[in-house]
Chains A and B, each alone.
Chain A
């Protein structure tokens, strides 16, 4: 009987030591894919990187073609989308966690958000076309694109915000209520600061997704060739994924290499965004734990 126990114990010790290695396979899959993708893209497009790529307008000549309009269009649309989406998500998250009862309405709302997450991106484009572009008369403008992207990323950011708020231990909440705080005060002073780092995670994920969306913008804007910078939110626009999507399906190898180079630019922008947000998150978490 003692042997059995010893054997089981030994097995457990081995498993215990092996587990982290097994687990890191999950990490490995993610990291390896990113690495392979980056290497593939960089090798393919490295030699086509140039300031012209970023500064020039689209052109039929690969040597002169650039993503300027696409980059600006992306910045405007996604920027506005983030401004719309993030406060909305935080507010929604607070509603669903603090400001509602256990009645039917909150659970219906939660359910709706989960459903919204499963809507294919192209449907947002088609509905946005009917509702925003034609219905509300916004035209094929940056603002129409921004609203579409905002709604598209809303579920993801909201769910992350909800989970963020849920991570705050109940003792703190109940303690504050016991001291007579209103829900708003609890939200503002207790929950928000502690949930903010994870909310930023949601924000990053959402913005990153919005930057990479080609299909809905293709339906909403449909525009690819534009040789002027957007001056207002009601201007026409194009976005980076659309431009890359078009270049990569051209017969000329030069354009396909240009697409690879463009992807590098896009990834660099994403990296910069991520890095900024992560540093912010780091600072916020550090401040909290001090």
Chain B
């Protein structure tokens, strides 16, 4: 009798949990989604695939119509399969996630997995050939490059987006309306003697500054210290550090005398909570106080713009069609993916050119390509 009671309870629990998953075999809700991709393969050959997925209540009907137009030489198969292993920076992760998800919808037989071991952690694996792609929020270090070469690993460095850094203060802060790179350097350098706002500028109040910033183990920190202070990882240590930029937002929001810096991606949702500070690069003649916008960041006019990369294993890229297709898909649609997750996309022209180059087998110089200011819309505001 008692065992029966027990079985009933266990069955209920299992049923509840199992029920969730049983329902997963079928679709959800009623929505129709159409995805069209155009993949340029080979010289002049175009393959268009249209996938229409119609879902109504619990029945999923997948209609796939494929038209293949072959103009020119080879006809590459569109039936890709295999697995792609990606690891690396958690900053770049959201973009890669968007790209992977999109790619897998087109090629369901390709399995893409993305990890978040960190830029350095990811490189550790990449340089011994464990991963196909490394998401990186900084360029590869010399030591990492040396180890890779020693292991016979060659890589393709592909910038995919830009992360602008914002400088923010509390909303009640009425006195800061622009800050220069030199002032930021004075403020953040190691052994900095700046304690109050007045130490920075005499017109400012004599209240102590409370600093917020990313921890020293993050790419944002690396970039900021190198760009502003002038030396990698050179920073004062008495600030509130967090790896999670949301926390920095919350910190600055709650502290009147706060000043912080973090990735621009976190600013749009925090617009009403904190005040952004325009930055002026006083090393450049005629530079103005700028806030990060898609325009100022993507053209590197805003002084605190850092590139985000993916590093692709060149050998694997050349020999595995699914990896090649993925990388090209990523780069071609880089603007979409980047802006979807609130990063600043590089100029459209860069993505198009980069994709062409990659397709043609030219693997170098993409970083320099991304730095070209594709200015065609007049001076930035």
Contact = CB atoms under 8 A, between A and B. Distances in A.
A and B touch in the complex (CB under 8 A): yes
Interface of A: 51-52, 54-56, 58-60, 68, 218-219, 221-228, 236, 246, 248-253, 256, 269, 272, 275-276, 279-280, 283, 287
B13 A276 contact: yes
B6 A227 contact: no
7 contacts: A54-B20, A60-B97, A222-B87, A246-B90, A251-B245, A276-B9, A279-B6
Contacts of B94: 60, 250
Nearest to A265: B20
Given A68-B24, A227-B111, A222 B101 contact: no
A222 B20 contact: no
Interface stretch (B63-71, B74-82, B113-121, B278-286): B113-121
B16 interface: yes
Contacts of B104: 227
A251 B113 contact: no
Given A51-B23, A58-B97, A60-B340, 17 more contacts: A51-B20, A51-B24, A51-B28, A55-B28, A56-B24, A224-B114, A225-B96, A225-B101, A227-B101, A227-B112, A228-B111, A236-B113, A246-B93, A248-B244, A251-B342, A276-B9, A283-B5
Interface in B23-70: 23-24, 28
Interface string B219-257: 000000000000000000000000111100000000000
A138 B248 CA distance: 39
B136 to A, nearest CB: 15
Nearest to A66: B24
Given A218-B116, A250-B94, A60 B101 contact: yes
Nearest to B116: A224
Given A58-B97, A228-B111, A246-B90, A251 B246 contact: yes
A55 B96 CA distance: 22
A225 B112 contact: yes
Nearest to A223: B115
Does more than half of chain B's interface fall in helix, strand or loop, or is it mixed? helix
Contact of B13 (A225, A248, A272, A283): A272
B318 interface: no
Contacts of A58: 97, 101
Contacts of A287: 2
Nearest to A251: B266
Nearest to B9: A279
A58 B6 CA distance: 35
A280 B6 contact: yes
B113 A223 contact: yes
B376 interface: no
A235 to B, nearest CB: 10
Contacts of B13: 272, 275-276
A272 B17 contact: yes
B84 to A, nearest CB: 11
A225 B114 contact: yes
B115 A222 contact: yes
Given A272-B17, A283-B6, A224 B246 contact: no
Contacts of A60: 94, 97-98, 101, 337, 340-341
Contact of A283 (B2, B21, B98, B100): B2
Contacts of A283: 2, 5-6
B172 interface: no
A97 B105 CA distance: 58
B72 interface: no
A55 B116 contact: no
B268 interface: yes
A224 B10 CA distance: 31
Contacts of B266: 251
A68 B17 CA distance: 12
Contacts of B304: none
**B-side interface size class:** 35 or more
A269 B20 contact: no
Q: Which 8 A-B pairs give the minimum distances between C-beta atoms?
A: A225-B114, A60-B98, A55-B24, A222-B117, A222-B115, A249-B244, A251-B266, A223-B115
A68 B25 CA distance: 12
B142 to A, nearest CB: 24
Nearest to A272: B13
B166 to A, nearest CB: 11
Contacts of A256: 246
B27 to A, nearest CB: 10
B115 A221 contact: yes
B265 interface: yes
A218 B115 CA distance: 9
Interface string B330-371: 000000010011100000000000000000000000000000
B189 to A, nearest CB: 28
A55 B20 CA distance: 7
A276 B5 CA distance: 12
B342 A222 contact: no
Contacts of A276: 9-10, 13
B113 A226 contact: yes
Given A59-B101, A276-B13, A279-B9, A223 B114 contact: yes
Nearest to B113: A226
A178 B348 CA distance: 88
Contacts of B100: 225
Report which residue of B87, B96, B97, B121 has the largest number of chain A beta carbons within 10 angstroms of its beta carbon: B97
Contacts of A227: 101, 104, 111-112
Contacts of A59: 97, 101
A246 B269 contact: no
